[in-house]
Amino acid sequence: MTDKLTDADRTELIEPLLANGWAMVKDQDAITREYTFANFVEAFGFMSRAAIWAEKLNHHPEWFNVYKTVRVTLTTHDVDGLSELDAKLAQKMDKLAGL
């Protein structure tokens, strides 16, 4: 079972993500980030690669794509907030995006 992050976990796992471009979502215990790629094919390729990791982690993002932009929101609905899965998927997405 996945647990909601403690304050110490948030300091260790979420704060580095916030320093690297992620942001807290207003009125929700979630993080969000917008990725911009050169074109639609690169954006869609990123989403395809991220989808494979989401499936491996059994943790799926909320995301929105228009042309070369992908907006991602991560939260763990089972715990009604952020969990280690969100941090892991965010870190993986940043690597896939070349950040």
Q: What is the pLDDT of residues 57-84, one digit of tens each?
A: 999 999 999 999 999 999 999 999 999 9
**pLDDT reading at 1 higher than 80:** no
Model pLDDT, residue 99: 87
Residue 35, number of CB atoms within 10 A of its CB: 23
pLDDT of res. 80: 95
Q: Where are the domains of the chain?
A: 7-96
Distance separating alpha carbons of residues 97 and 99, to the nearest angstrom: 6
Q: What is the mean pLDDT of residues 21-36?
A: 97
- What pLDDT is recorded for position 39? 98
Domain covering 7-96, topology: Gyrase A; domain 2 (3.30.1360)
Considering the chain, what is the average pLDDT of its residues? 97
